[in-house]
Structure 1
Amino acid sequence: MQRHPFEFQINPLVLTLFLILVTLFVSTGISRARVSTDNLIFILDASGSMEFRINGKTKIGIVRDILTDQIKTLPASLQAGLVAYGHRHKGDCNDVEELVPVSPMNAALLIKKIRAITPTGMTSVSLAIRNASEKIRHLKGRTAVILIADGQDSCMNDPCALVRELKAKGIKFAVHVIGFDVTGDAEKQLSGIAQAGQGGYFRAGNAKELKLALKKTIKKLGIKDRQRQSEKKSEKKRTVPSQMSSSQPPKLSENKVTLKVNAGRIRKAPSLQSDIKFSLKKGSTVSVIDKKEEWLHIRLDDGRTGWSHQRLFSLSDQDQTADAEVTREIRAIRTDLTSEGKEKVIFVQNSFHPPKIFFIEEDPPKVVCDFFDTRLGKDTDSYIKVNSKFIQKIRTGLHKIPVSKLRVVVDLVPNKTYELEHIFLKEKKHCVLIIKSARKFSDRP
């Protein structure tokens, strides 16, 4: 047979090698396109301003709920950690703590630590990032940091320059930032952190926007949504015909709670302003299917659902993840006047629940401690006369509007300047208020 001048023969071995190389190239390209984050570190702002309210709810409360919901969707293959700042001591720029080391996903632990965070002190953004970077340098794989903050660094540091410095040292990580209710210089700094960290910046002004911003951030990291996968499996299961009557409620594995008051109002939403759906009688036992701060989402055996405040119920099953299930009580209020240059007020509690503390410059000046959903123990005096160098008297009162709280007011000696500190001793269940003479102090909420 005569060959065409431009025809040539291909060696079968060469063709095989060529196909193998093409396959490897294509496979490598696909795998690179699918690379996602291996390690994720959340850094949470717990400075005092996170106690401010948006639409009636504290900013920290909004973050707790939305971050909790998002963590439940993260896959078990992810390694995750948690860092917080400003959650223990007032006025302390070194108040940064690694609450959960980067380790295989433990959603229950992360949620428990997040729900225990109480806004208290300074905005130590730079130190939080630096501390996280010490852990990042030892991690394998791709690492991302998600910073949720409502203000700029208040400790005279430049977090943008710090992130650039860490990047220059070869520490491999991306910083994504969600600015929660920020404007002006604060937003400029937070967006600058994201730019320096080669990450995304998202602005959120309320709960809805925060939820969307967090979802966008997680999506940007390429992390698969465990919840969507489980929903797909559930959809397949629903297509299987069932012999069970549609009116028969499913079996629930949630904790059971029992109404301990004479009558309990069940509402459409977790708010005292929400409409009432129905009422329960004392002794009614229901299942808890969700929880938002002090509110329980309950379900009856007949399928009805609604929201009610947790103080109306006692537990049938022990929930180890929340201190609020115990009826909160101040069992004693003590004073320690022996410390040189300072005086202490010690609140002895039955469970760990730090109060909100602020100073009022009046005549006489006052320190106010609000213990939410708390009662005064039957053996605890509601009025304590002190007449010491700094403290005149301590008085308590129960307030129910807008929310239930036990307010403790410490009246101070006038015509002096004061500095306040407070320490929370979680194991002892003590809150210690320290009062000492210092420069003029004002910290009104």
Structure 2
Amino acid sequence: MKKDLTKGSVLKGILTLALPIIGAMFMQTANNVIDIAWIGKISSDAVAGVGTSSFFIQLVWSICSIFLIGSGILVSQSIGKNNEQQAREYSRESLIALFGIILLMGVLMQIFFQPIISFFNFEKPIVEDYAYTYLTWMSGFLFFSLTVLLMTQISNARGDSKTSLKYSTIGVFINLVLDPLFIFTFDLGVMGAALATGVAQFITLFLFLKRYAKAFFGDREEWIFRFEKVGEIFKVGFPASLQRILFTLVGIAIAKIVSEWGSDAIAAQKIGNQVEGITYMCIGGLSSAMMSFTGQNFGAKQYKRIEEGYKNAMAFTILIGLINGAFFYIFSESLIQLFVSEKDTIAMGASYLEILGIAQVFMCVEMVTSGIINGLGKTKYPAYINISMTVIRIPMALYFAKNLGLGIDGVWLSIGVSMFLRAVCLTIAYNYTRNKVILKLKNEVS
């Protein structure tokens, strides 16, 4: 199953692919928001505990993204070359490698969960208890959630984003039903939230594999493990995943700084992140679509379509960034109140949305531009830029918060400034890549 993105209207091709991905990401974001909304009814401490442990779950996801991103790029380029056999080889070996990483990281998190959570030195034992519980259970469900992400990436790379939307929707509705049932009816609390997510992901994966395992991975007799394919996938996926790994590590460091203002601040950051996910789902879907669109057209040597795609994508992403940013700024307090009732958490969360609302357009530009450059296989450029511009958040947060006396607002400001710097640097990187790669190859074709 595949869709040819190298022919027809550029804008229609991008939107046809992007809208279902955005829908699927909306479902994933809705899934997270539902969890936090129900957990928020327990207390801000519960949100803080879950938010803290979520950083380490994200770290595992970031490590596994080596094969998620690598397979997406190489499968899309193989489809562009009409090489179905090669596309399946990349998919199979990504699945096998992913399983190995999940197994290793799941075991490590089960063994070392106590020192992991103790890193934040919470003064409230109840917050640590919530974090321990959530991390322990969620680490056991990593295989389901990450394999669903791999299947989604492969499907999108083939130009079929409707499949991931369909199964993500099913998973969200299952989680929507199970969350209140497990958390409150069965009185399982935070553990119930983790169980609801795990069951939903298991069912989603089962449906995905039952329908598309053969189409994506081939027949059983084709399952031959070749180390060179893993090496190719790793080479392409590592730079982009390295930025995700370091981004998560920086996020943990920032959370450590935020924890100095107490569990209310951690809860405010977690809720703010979830609300900000509205932008991420829209632009993350467009970025993923642009990576597949660019990859297929690059493989098919349709360089003019890549340039036209960039212009269309930028117009759309800037509009979304401005609209969402204004929405977050104007309704900041009301949005946080949807999750918690504690005044301190609401105040800090509203401040987060007001400051980050101004920076939404920059986040949109850098995400879409990264997707386009990654689609060209030049994953090192976005990786280097995103890594460096993310790492500086730590010294900026300390300087703004303490030296300038801005407090917790200084931490939020450091995040916004880094988004601006990434957007500027990645725009420069795209134009450099365009001159060095696209224009050169276009002239050769001419």
Normalised by the length of structure 2, the TM-score is: 0.27
Greater share of strand residues, 1 or 2? 1
Larger radius of gyration: 1
Higher relative contact order (CA 8 A, sep 6+): 2
Structure 1 or 2: more helix by fraction: 2
TM-score, normalising length: structure 1: 0.27
